[in-house]
Structure 1
Amino acid sequence: MSLKRAFLSFQKPLFFTHRKLLQPPSDNKILRLNATFHRRSSIRASTAAAAKAQMVLNWEDVEIGEPKEGEIRVKNKAIGVNFIDVYNRKGVYKTDLPFTPGREAVGVVTAVGSGLTGRKVGDVVAYAGNPMGSYAEEQILPASAAVPVPSSVDHKVAASIMLKGMTVHSLLRRCFKVEAGHTILVQAAAGGVGSLLCQWANALGATVIGTVSSEEKAAQAKEDGCRHVIIYTKEDFVAAVNNITSGKGVNVVYDSVGKDTYQGSLKCLASRGYLVSFGQSSGLPDPIPLSDLATKSLFLTRPSLMHYTATRDELLESAGEVFSLLSSGVLKVRVNHVYPLSEAARAHADLEGRKTSGSIVLIPDNEL
Structure 2
Amino acid sequence: MKAIQILQTGGPEALTLSDIPVPVPKAGEALVRIQACGVNFIDIYYREGRYKTALPFVDGQEAAGMVEAVGEGVDEVKPGDRVAWCNILGAYAEYAAVPAAKLVKVPDDVDLKLAAAAILQGMTAHYLAHSTWPLKAGETALVHAAAGGVGLLLTQMASAIGARVIATVSTEEKAKLAREAGAAEVILYTQADFEAETKRLTEGRGVDVVYDSVGKTTFDKSLNCLRPRGMMVLFGGSSGAVPPFDPIQLSVKGSLFLTRPTLGHYTLTREDLAWRAGDVFRAIAKGRLKVRMEHTYPLADAQRAHRDLEARKTTGKLLLIP
Q: Give the TM-score normalised by the residue count of structure 1.
A: 0.85
Q: Deviations over 1:43-90 (max 9, x none)?
A: xxxxxxx4xx53464442x22342222211000001011110011101
Among candidates 345, 350, 366, match of residue 308 of structure 2: 350
Q: Distance in 1 between matches of 2:178 and 2:75?
A: 43
Among candidates 99, 108, 126, match of residue 66 of structure 2: 108
Q: 1:319 to 1:234 in 2, by over 3 A?
A: same
The number of aligned residues is 321
Q: Give how far 1:116 is off.
A: 2.6
- 2:267 corresponding residue in structure 1: 309
Q: Distance in 2 between matches of 1:325 and 1:152?
A: 11
Among candidates 246, 251, 257, match of residue 289 of structure 1: 246
- 2:126 corresponding residue in structure 1: 169
- 1:236 corresponding residue in structure 2: 193
Among candidates 105, 108, 116, match of residue 148 of structure 1: 105
Q: Distance in 1 between matches of 2:153 and 2:78?
A: 32
Unaligned 5+ runs, structure 2: none
Q: Distance in 1 between matches of 2:109 and 2:32?
A: 20
Q: Distance in 2 between matches of 1:55 and 1:92?
A: 14
**8 Å contact 1:103–1:132 — kept in the other structure?**
yes
**8 Å contact 2:4–2:15 — kept in the other structure?**
no
- 1:222 corresponding residue in structure 2: 179
**8 Å contact 2:146–2:167 — kept in the other structure?**
yes
1:341 equivalent in alignment to 2:299: yes
- 1:274 corresponding residue in structure 2: 231
**8 Å contact 1:241–1:249 — kept in the other structure?**
yes
Q: Distance in 2 between matches of 1:255 and 1:114?
A: 42
**Root-mean-square deviation over aligned CA pairs:** 1.2
1:63 equivalent in alignment to 2:18: no
**8 Å contact 1:238–1:268 — kept in the other structure?**
yes
Q: Distance in 1 between matches of 2:147 and 2:41?
A: 14
Q: Distance in 1 between matches of 2:113 and 2:279?
A: 18
- 1:54 corresponding residue in structure 2: 13
**Greater relative contact order (Cα < 8 A, sep 6+):** 2
User: What amino acid does structure 2 have at the position aligned with 1:8?
Assistant: I
- 2:278 corresponding residue in structure 1: 320
1:8 is paired with a residue of what secondary structure?
A: strand
- 2:7 corresponding residue in structure 1: 11
Q: Distance in 2 between matches of 1:206 and 1:218?
A: 18
**8 Å contact 1:209–1:230 — kept in the other structure?**
yes
Q: Distance in 1 between matches of 2:232 and 2:23?
A: 45
For the pair shown, which has the larger CA radius of gyration, 1 or 2? 1
User: What amino acid does structure 2 have at the position aligned with 1:273?
Assistant: G
Q: Distance in 2 between matches of 1:96 and 1:71?
A: 20
Q: Give how far 1:91 is off.
A: 1.1
1:9 is paired with a residue of what secondary structure?
A: strand
- 2:86 corresponding residue in structure 1: 128
Among candidates 60, 69, 72, match of residue 30 of structure 2: 72
- 2:50 corresponding residue in structure 1: 92
**8 Å contact 1:187–1:254 — kept in the other structure?**
yes
Q: Distance in 2 between matches of 1:94 and 1:229?
A: 36
Q: Distance in 2 between matches of 1:207 and 1:59?
A: 47
Q: Deviations over 1:228-272 (max 9, x none)?
A: 000000000000001100000000000000000000100000111
Among candidates 86, 96, 99, match of residue 139 of structure 1: 96
1:134 is paired with a residue of what secondary structure?
A: coil
- 1:203 corresponding residue in structure 2: 160
Q: Distance in 2 between matches of 1:243 and 1:190?
A: 22
Q: Deviations over 1:278-301 (max 9, x none)?
A: 000000011221110002010000
**8 Å contact 2:141–2:210 — kept in the other structure?**
yes
Q: Deviations over 1:77-120 (max 9, x none)?
A: 01011110011101111121111111110000111113432422
User: What amino acid does structure 2 have at the position aligned with 1:6?
Assistant: K
Q: Distance in 2 between matches of 1:165 and 1:134?
A: 17
Q: Distance in 2 between matches of 1:350 and 1:321?
A: 30
**8 Å contact 1:200–1:330 — kept in the other structure?**
no
Q: Distance in 2 between matches of 1:169 and 1:65?
A: 32
